[in-house]
Structures are given as C-alpha cells and as structure tokens.
Structure 1
Amino acid sequence: MALTSGTYALGPASGTLRLRTGRSGLGRRAGHDLTIEAARWSGEAVIDLDDPSASVVTAEIDPASFEVVEGGGGVVPLTAADRIEIVKTVREKVLKTRAHPVIRFRSTGVAGTPAAFTVEGELTIMDVTRPVTVHGRISGERLTAEASVVQSRWGIKPYSALFGQLRVADEVKIELDLAPVG
C-alpha cells in the first residue's frame, strides 16, 4: 500500500517502539546492550502529503510497560531474573514511573518526503520537555524511524553498578517500525 494523506492510529497493533541502550565505563564488558520494547503506547499521525509541514505526530508511551526483549554482549547471557530486575530498576529508580506515568511526544514540524523525512518535536520525560529530531523513511509498506535521546538532558541519571564502573550509556536510541502505512 502507498502512503496517502489522512489520519493514522499508532500503537502496538501497528508496530513496535523499541529503545536500544549501550554500555560505558571500565566494567562495560560485564553488562549488556539492551533492547527494550514498550508494550503500551499510542499515537496519531495526521499526514498531509501536499503540505508535509501541516502534518502532525503525537504519541504517549507508558514507561511501566517497558520489557527487555534482548540483551547482547556481557560476560554471561542475560537471564530471565536479570530481565525482571532490569525492568524493576528502570520503572522504580531510573524513570520513577509511579510519579511520571507517561512519556509524551508532539511534533513541532515535519519536512521531507516519504523516502526521507524528519519530524522535529518535543519529548517529555519525567516532566522535562526537550526538543528531539526523528529521522524516518517509508519503504514499501514499512515506516521506520529513529531518534537519539541523551538521558542526562532530561535529568535522568543513567543506571550504574559496580561502584560506577559499569554504566548504561547516556545516549539511548529510539526505534519505530510500523506497518502497514497505507
């Protein structure tokens, strides 16, 4: 299907929203690069192909729905118990999801073509709003997009262990994979 102007519902039924973390610090070999998926999120894309700047994208993510779907690297494989502990740490200590139950995105500008576009917007995490740029493209029936978030810009202290020798890298990649788009 080809993309047409119109309103599109976004969420788990239309694709995946994933976070990819890296490791830093002297103990980084002991940790894992994580792929975390949001199980509950929703959004809307109002697309105007005649005037892309009139397009609007919004999304709300429930950070309490984050689940570890993959862990690469590390000295030992990631276990089910590790996954549970990581999710608990992200929810309770890193993102404090009880006090901050929603992550929000609202576009402020859209430019480009379906083959290569950017969405400028405002991302609110833990009640801190900062600008972010999403780069995307549509190929066939798939829309893929990604953005980088530097946690410390939102006041988030990246997780650390082993007396700070193992840390989650400050930069986290956000990836969207949606289909069908038309």
Structure 2
Amino acid sequence: MALTDGTYRLGPSNARLLIKTGRTGLGRRAGHDLTIEAVRWSGKAVLVVGDPDNASVSVTVETGSLKVREGTGGLKALTDADRAEIERTLAKRDLLHSTEHPTITFRSTRVAGTPQSFEITGDLTIKGRTHPITVHGQGNGDRLLHGWATVTQSTWGIKPYTAFLGALRLADEVRMEFEVTRLEPADAPR
C-alpha cells in the first residue's frame, strides 16, 4: 500500500505501541525481559510525502492501559499473577503514578526522510516532564510503517524497578516500538 498525503487517525485498531524492557544486575537471570503494550491510546499523523517538513505526529497514551504481553527469560515462567502485579506497579505504585499523570504524550517537532526511512523528532512527556526523543522508522511490507526509539527512564524521573535488594534491576533504557498496519483517514467514521 502506497502512502498518500492526508490526515490519519492512529490507535489500537490499526497500530500497536510496545515497550520492551531488559534486565541488569547480578540477579538478572531471575527476572524477565518484558513486552508491554499500550491498549488505550490515540494519535494523529499528517502525511505530506513530498514535503516531510510539513508532516506531523501526535500520540496520547493512557498510563493505566499498559498490559504485559510477554515475559521471556527468568528462572520460572511469568504467571498471570506476576503480570497483574507488574501492571499495578507500572500504573500506580512506583513508576508512572497514573492518578497524578494519566497520560503520556508525544508531539513531533520535525519529520525528515522518506516513507521508506524516516526520523521523527519530538517532545515526549512522561510524569509531567518533557524531553526530546528521536523515533527511527521504516515503511515496507505488511506492517506499512514501523519504528523504534530508545528511552532512558531516569530522564523522566522513573526509577527502574529493582528486586532482591537491587540484585535484579530493569535496565534504565527501554525500547519503545510502533507498528502501523493500515491508515485510517481522520474524517472516516469509526
């Protein structure tokens, strides 16, 4: 499918937003590398294929909508109880404080490149703190568009999760990934 100029709606019906974590520390073998998905979010992309300077992207994610989809590694399999506890920790207790900060937002400030290989620079706001990030992306195949950005949690005041007196820690850097499977015009009925 060729990309054409227009304003498009983004969300769980046509795209995925994932966070992938890693482990560090002496006890890293006990923990899991997690794949976490945002299940309630919305966004808008303005595509101007021949003039990326006039393109833009904005996304808003509900912090309480993060669901653990996969846990790899570890000494034992990730249980449903483990998933539920991780989701509670993410949203409320320690990391994102979803009551005080119900959303995470991204607003592009610059789009460069081609539909096949592009970079989107923008402002990411987490827990009321805004910092720039660069999203790297590609367009091709079944996924239409996909890409990634590396986010250092501590930059946004997030203390990476620790256990076993600090012997097991989530790595400070997490990888955020997106995948758009089809474009929905913003003016199309839902």
Give the shorter-chain TM-score range.
Answer: over 0.9
1:1-182 map, 5 Å: 1-92=1-92, 93-141=94-142, 142-181=144-183
Deviation at 1:27, TM superposition (A): 0.5
Question: AA paired with 1:78?
Answer: L
Equivalent pair of 1:2/1:181 in contact (CA under 8 Å): no
Query: 2:177 & 2:3 partners in 1: Cα distance?
Result: 20
Query: 2:72 & 2:150 partners in 1: Cα distance?
Result: 19
Query: 1:15 & 1:44 partners in 2: Cα distance?
Result: 12
Query: 2:76 & 2:167 partners in 1: Cα distance?
Result: 17
Query: 1:107 & 1:15 partners in 2: Cα distance?
Result: 18
Aligned-pair Cα RMSD in Å? 0.9
Query: 1:109 & 1:97 partners in 2: Cα distance?
Result: 28
Query: 1:181 & 1:140 partners in 2: Cα distance?
Result: 14
Deviation at 1:145, TM superposition (A): 1.1
* Runs of 4 or more above 2 Å deviation: none
Identity of aligned residues (%): 53
Equivalent pair of 1:144/1:178 in contact (CA under 8 Å): yes
Equivalent pair of 2:10/2:183 in contact (CA under 8 Å): no
Query: 2:36 & 2:155 partners in 1: Cα distance?
Result: 20
Equivalent pair of 1:143/1:181 in contact (CA under 8 Å): no
Question: AA paired with 1:179?
Answer: T
Q: What are the Cα deviations for residues 60-83 of structure 1, in whole angstroms up to 9, with x where unaligned?
A: 001100000000000000000000
Equivalent pair of 1:2/1:140 in contact (CA under 8 Å): no
TM-score by length of 1: 0.98
Query: 2:24 & 2:183 partners in 1: Cα distance?
Result: 37
TM-score by length of 2: 0.94
Query: 2:182 & 2:19 partners in 1: Cα distance?
Result: 21
Equivalent pair of 2:8/2:46 in contact (CA under 8 Å): yes
Q: Unmatched 5+ residue regions in structure 1? A: none
Q: Unmatched 5+ residue regions in structure 2? A: 185-190
Q: What are the Cα deviations for residues 62-119 of structure 1, in whole angstroms up to 9, with x where unaligned?
A: 1100000000000000000000000011111111111100000000000000110000
Q: What are the Cα deviations for residues 123-175 of structure 1, in whole angstroms up to 9, with x where unaligned?
A: 00000000000000110352101101000111110111111111111001001
